[in-house]
Structure 1
Amino acid sequence: MRPFLILQLRPETEASDDEYAAFLAKGGMSSAETHRIRLDQENLPGDIDLSDYSGVIVGGGPGCVSDAPEDKDPVEARIEEQILALMPAITESDTPFLGCCYGIGILAHHLGARVSKDNYGEPVGPVDCTMTQAAKDDPVMAGLPDRFAAFVGHKEAVQHLPDGAVHLLSSAPCPFQMIRVRRNIYATQFHPEADGAVFETRIRLYRNKGYFRPDEADDLIATCRAAHVDQPEKILRNFVARYRS
């Protein structure tokens, strides 16, 4: 069986481990079915062969694709460069790909779309997402209702639909919550692996990262804990089930 390649960007071990555990639990995977690479700690192998994997899953992180080069943390800049270098092979081969939050910025930027902080940023918390007609016929969206809540928190966003992309989900604050490219390449602006407990961990760890005022953290944790968010994980589980080999 070919594993899923899971690329993680979070430099905080607690956040990275928690995200990885959520990918496993919500995706219905065992650790033996994955090849996990923490890009904050190691480089992406230069000779990586995508045919060795069932698919690629990219997690979220504190970096922003749209930040000026001189403003990027050196580790975040290296991670971005390495993931962007992998994207041509993914899109050309139509390798199964699921980019979560940061992943939609990477995919859209690679495709020539504008990613910026000008419009469509969303505060930390739940948001209602709505399916497009195209989503209703997509196998990765099977079993989801037309409208459901998901967890978000992002400073930058895709400003227009990339050429050739299919629009799958939108929200009132952010029109491009999920897209597909070719048949097998997906990206979400929200976090399909996240539940209230996962977001509580991230709120604690990122309270000084500019996503919200530090004194708002306790209220945000309470909001996320009270939110009924249990549908987005089906996207992750459907993706894994469809491409597991």
Structure 2
Amino acid sequence: MVTDQAPWMRTLMRWLYTLVHEAVQVPVLGLCFGHQLLAHALGGEVADNPMGLEVGTIALRLTGAGRQDALLGAIAGHPWAQVVHRQSVLTPPPGAMVLASNGHDACQAFRYGEQVWGVQFHPEFSADVMRAYLQALRGEGLTQQQVDSHLPEVRECDDARTILNRFALLTAAQVA
């Protein structure tokens, strides 16, 4: 958890801050814990979500900026994603633009500047991986009834997975 503030996390947050503010336009994409760590490093607030654990396949609400965003705009037609997190970005970093939210989390995605993104969800997860997470959480954060209610809702989120390829395409010229 970001709030653990382990020494390695503090070192990584200093490195991220330096990378974003002093490096020459290095693209950054933080996923889930990376999203939270990036937000905290840039001055946002991360803590346990008051609504508790969010897990399963969820619908995202893209903001107007999110629909126009070079990265998240790719999922505007089908904004579904896999999530599993207890902590959230409660307050985005100053100057960040919120790109997506849902009823559980007001900052499912943000952009900071032109080339730094954080997404709370897991674009790398397939439906099978999400189902495995749900099964693993049985008795470790979820009751059998909760697992049983979430499993039928799990679906593939192909559009969310395209974010990884899109990030690579958007940034390839700068890192070559």
Inter-CA distance 108–218: structure 2 relative to 1 (3 Å threshold): closer
Instruction: Return the structure number with greater helix share.
Output: 2
Q: Does the 8 A contact of 2:40 with 2:46 survive in 1?
A: yes
Partner of 2:94: 163
User: Offset at 1:79?
Assistant: 4.1
Query: AA paired with 1:170?
Result: S
1:241 matched to 2:149? The reply is: no
Q: Does the 8 A contact of 2:32 with 2:122 survive in 1?
A: yes
User: Offset at 1:208?
Assistant: 5.4
Partner of 1:41: none
Partner of 1:56: none
Q: Does the 8 A contact of 1:126 with 1:150 survive in 2?
A: yes
Q: Does the 8 A contact of 1:178 with 1:188 survive in 2?
A: yes
Partner of 2:159: 231
Inter-CA distance 233–122: structure 2 relative to 1 (3 Å threshold): same
Which structure 1 residue ranges, 5 or more long, are not aligned? 1-63, 70-76
User: Offset at 1:89?
Assistant: 2.1
Partner of 2:63: 132
- The 1-side partners of 2:129 and 2:66 are apart by 26
SS state at 1:139 partner: coil
Q: Does the 8 A contact of 2:67 with 2:76 survive in 1?
A: no
TM-score (norm 1): 0.62
Query: AA paired with 1:187?
Result: G
User: Offset at 1:83?
Assistant: 2.1
Query: In the TM superposition, what whole-angstrom CA distance separates every residue of 1:176-206 from its partner, at most 9, and x where no partner exists?
Result: 0000111111100111111111223333445
SS state at 2:92 partner: coil
Which of 78, 83, 87 in structure 1 is aligned with 2:16?
87
SS state at 2:159 partner: coil
User: Offset at 1:123?
Assistant: 2.5
- The 2-side partners of 1:233 and 1:81 are apart by 29
Q: Does the 8 A contact of 1:130 with 1:147 survive in 2?
A: no
Q: Does the 8 A contact of 2:134 with 2:151 survive in 1?
A: no
Inter-CA distance 160–122: structure 2 relative to 1 (3 Å threshold): same
User: Offset at 1:105?
Assistant: 1.1
Q: Does the 8 A contact of 1:199 with 1:221 survive in 2?
A: no
Query: AA paired with 1:66?
Result: T
- The 2-side partners of 1:146 and 1:88 are apart by 33
Which of 115, 120, 139 in structure 2 is aligned with 1:184?
115
Q: Does the 8 A contact of 1:97 with 1:186 survive in 2?
A: yes
Query: In the TM superposition, what whole-angstrom CA distance separates every residue of 1:33-68 from its partner, at most 9, and x where no partner exists?
Result: xxxxxxxxxxxxxxxxxxxxxxxxxxxxxxx1124x
Query: In the TM superposition, what whole-angstrom CA distance separates every residue of 1:48-107 from its partner, at most 9, and x where no partner exists?
Result: xxxxxxxxxxxxxxxx1124x5xxxxxxx2542342132122211242111111012111
Query: AA paired with 1:65?
Result: V
